[in-house]
């Protein structure tokens, strides 16, 4: 038994209803509640839409004694129903609610007790103070505290939305206010959007380090230098794993994210290069193609240069790849994955494939692959080898995407720097990398220029300052 609240992930959750007597497919429930025996049966709902009431890997927040914490579990289930095809975002929410439940238990507070007239003695305000104390002590980052508080506010908003859940706060859990958020659309124009904010929310200060080499693109990414790229390729060749080598090359030469690279289908590269009509090869990605995109972005294409296509084609029709497909469920079907493990398993199971299981009579798997093998390969083999030359070297697979973008801009910059050239490069790179915002593309376009200007200014100012110090 855990010493505090914890998160338990159900392998598969089936929505059921209570039945008074046994029957085919009904599950008996027999336990004691406050010393009295309770016995009944549960059966799965028989409607045709019940597949959307089946959720694989659904996280639940449990009390220290193993019983479900009702408010958190109800909200997590509601969120699962709202987005049944994408449950990956639920675990951090569950972890945030777990932290709140541990705080309540430690301070002997009830989650629904808002009887205090002084708002700073109500659970939500006390929790905000607790989180700020953790920030000040360095125990957690401001972003972590902000996410935890956001989960708590979200749970209470859900519970207060109607009378269905029987929760009515005697006093407000927070004071609502309207603020204006400034944002840029995908054309670069600024807009102001009004949103409601709770005064218990924790603001995260946004201060950028002037010398930060990273690019903001779905996270902070570190482009690899030319020397680091050379060492990476040399290391991959020396390690001799052809699958992982090609996976890296695909990301470096297309800018594709890990979920896109690992869900490529071998049939897309079955045709010999001599029969391809146009280069670069235009590969459709997104919902309905079997190839994942971040946020289910649709109507996008991966631009595959001829050299990369030739490498992927030769691998796709090789005996090594065929043997791996023979061990897999889809065998030699053209919709099978291009990259499979030595046992025939996918490195990353696509959303289309996971959701298709709902229509199958086969039981849903307890877990699905999300690129763990490639990340372990990088951490255990690639990085240690490169550190023999660069002691502090480190990278994540997603950094290969940033490397592609900077390489592409460097190549374009060699052709001349004009306003027309800048606008063309901005539009083309945005399409190549499927950017939703122009500001993301600008981070790549201006990367070298910003760093060069910063380094030049620092050099000139330091030189001036040193002369003043020496002459004084």
Pick the range with the lowest mean pLDDT from 24-33, 135-144, 341-350.
24-33
Choice between 23 and 269, residue whose per-residue pLDDT is larger:
269
Which stretch, 389-398, 411-420, 443-452, has highest mean pLDDT?
389-398
Choice between 269 and 12, residue whose per-residue pLDDT is larger:
269
Q: What is the pLDDT of residues 439-457, one digit of tens each?
A: 787 777 777 766 666 666 6
- Both tokens of 64, joined, read 């220290």
pLDDT score of 385: 96
- Mean of all residue pLDDT scores within the chain: 85
Q: What is the pLDDT of residues 152-191, one digit of tens each?
A: 999 999 999 877 777 888 999 999 887 655 555 555 556 5
Query: Is omega for the bond preceding 50 within 30 degrees of 0, making it cis?
Result: no
pLDDT score of 192: 60
Q: Report strand pairing: 281-285 vs 300-304.
A: antiparallel
**Torsion angle of the four alpha carbons 169, 175, 178, 184, in this order, in degrees rounded to the nearest 10:** -90
- Both tokens of 380, joined, read 């255990």
**In the predicted structure, residue 364 carries a pLDDT above the cut 50:** no
**In the predicted structure, residue 2 carries a pLDDT above the cut 50:** no
| 405 class by beta-carbon count within 10 Å (0-12 exposed, 13-18 middle, 19+ buried) | buried
Query: Residues 463-468: what's their mean pLDDT?
Result: 73
Query: Residues 305-333: what's their mean pLDDT?
Result: 96
Q: What is the pLDDT of residues 238-277, one digit of tens each?
A: 999 999 999 999 999 999 999 999 999 999 999 999 999 9
Query: Residues 335-364: what's their mean pLDDT?
Result: 78
Closest CA to 352 of 296, 435, 303, 282: 296
* Confidence class for position 1, pLDDT limits 50, 70, 90: very low
| 191 class by beta-carbon count within 10 Å (0-12 exposed, 13-18 middle, 19+ buried) | exposed
**In the predicted structure, residue 198 carries a pLDDT above the cut 60:** yes
3-state helix, strand, coil in the chain (%, to 5): 45, 15, 35
- Both tokens of 16, joined, read 């059921």
| 207 class by beta-carbon count within 10 Å (0-12 exposed, 13-18 middle, 19+ buried) | exposed
Are the C-beta atoms of 369 and 348 separated by less than 8 Å?
Answer: yes
| Phi/psi of residue 28, nearest 5 degrees | -75, 140
Its pTM stands at 0.71
Are the C-beta atoms of 331 and 267 separated by less than 8 Å?
Answer: no
> Cα separation of 409 and 278, whole Å?
23
Are the C-beta atoms of 324 and 347 separated by less than 8 Å?
Answer: no
How many Cα neighbours within 13 Å face the side chain of 359? Answer: 5
151: which residues sit within 8 A by CB, 6+ positions away?
92, 93, 96, 97, 100
* Confidence class for position 390, pLDDT limits 50, 70, 90: very high
Q: Name the β-bridge partners of 200.
A: none
pLDDT score of 366: 46
Pick the range with the lowest mean pLDDT from 178-192, 338-352, 392-406.
178-192
Closest CA to 268 of 303, 211, 313, 234: 313
Are the C-beta atoms of 69 and 76 separated by less than 8 Å?
Answer: no
**In the predicted structure, residue 209 carries a pLDDT above the cut 60:** no
Choice between 273 and 420, residue whose per-residue pLDDT is larger:
273
pLDDT score of 82: 87
Q: What is the pLDDT of residues 29-67, one digit of tens each?
A: 887 767 788 888 888 776 666 667 788 888 999 999 888
| Phi/psi of residue 19, nearest 5 degrees | -125, 150
Can you give the length of the chain in residues? 472
* Confidence class for position 105, pLDDT limits 50, 70, 90: very high
pLDDT score of 357: 60
Are the C-beta atoms of 444 and 223 separated by less than 8 Å?
Answer: no
What order do you get walking across the sheet with 27-33 strand by strand?
Answer: 16-19, 36-44, 27-33
């Amino acid at each position: 038994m855990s010493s505090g609240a914890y998160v338990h992930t159900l392998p598969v959750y089936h929505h059921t209803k209570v039945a008074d007597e046994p029957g085919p497919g009904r599950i008996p429930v027999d336990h004691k509640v406050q010393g009295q025996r309770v016995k009944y049966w549960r059966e799965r709902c028989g409607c045709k839409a019940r597949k959307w009431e089946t959720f694989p890997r659904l996280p639940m927040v449990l009390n220290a004694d193993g019983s479900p914490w009702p408010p958190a579990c109800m909200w997590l289930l509601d969120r699962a129903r709202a987005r049944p095809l994408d449950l990956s975002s639920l675990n951090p929410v569950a972890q945030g609610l777990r932290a709140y439940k541990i705080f309540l238990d430690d301070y002997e507070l009830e989650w629904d007790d808002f009887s205090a007239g002084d708002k700073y003695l109500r659970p939500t305000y006390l929790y905000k103070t607790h989180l700020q104390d953790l920030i000040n002590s360095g125990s957690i980052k401001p972003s972590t505290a902000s996410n935890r508080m956001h989960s708590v506010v979200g749970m209470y908003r859900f519970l207060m939305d109607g009378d269905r859940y029987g929760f009515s706060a005697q006093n407000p859990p927070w004071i609502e206010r309207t603020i204006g958020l400034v944002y840029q659309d995908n054309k670069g124009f600024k807009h102001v959007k009004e949103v409601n904010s709770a005064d218990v929310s924790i603001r995260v200060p946004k201060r950028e380090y002037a010398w930060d080499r990273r690019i903001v693109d779905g996270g902070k990414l570190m482009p690899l230098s030319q020397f680091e790229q050379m060492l990476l390729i040399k290391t991959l060749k020396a390690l001799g794993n052809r699958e992982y080598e090609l996976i890296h090359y695909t990301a470096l030469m297309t800018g594709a994210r890990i979920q896109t690279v690992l869900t490529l289908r071998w049939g897309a590269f079955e045709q010999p290069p001599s029969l391809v009509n146009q280069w670069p090869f235009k590969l459709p990605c997104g919902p309905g193609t079997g190839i994942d995109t971040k946020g289910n972005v649709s109507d996008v294409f991966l631009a595959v240069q001829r050299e990369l296509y030739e490498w992927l084609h030769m691998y796709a029709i090789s005996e090594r790849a065929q043997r791996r497909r023979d061990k897999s469920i889809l065998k030699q079907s053209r919709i099978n994955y291009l990259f499979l493990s030595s046992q025939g398993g996918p490195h990353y199971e696509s959303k289309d494939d996971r959701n298709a299981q709902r229509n199958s009579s086969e039981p849903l798997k307890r877990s699905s692959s999300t690129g763990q093998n490639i990340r372990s390969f990088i951490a255990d083999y690639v990085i240690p080898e490169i550190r023999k030359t660069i002691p502090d070297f480190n990278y994540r697979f997603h950094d290969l995407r940033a490397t592609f973008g900077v390489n592409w801009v460097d190549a374009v910059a060699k052709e001349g720097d004009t306003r027309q050239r800048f606008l063309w490069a901005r539009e083309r790179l945005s399409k190549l990398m499927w950017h939703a915002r122009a500001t993301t593309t600008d981070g790549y376009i201006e990367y070298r220029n910003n760093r060069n200007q910063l380094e030049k200014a620092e050099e000139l100012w330091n030189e001036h300052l040193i002369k003043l110090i020496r002459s004084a």
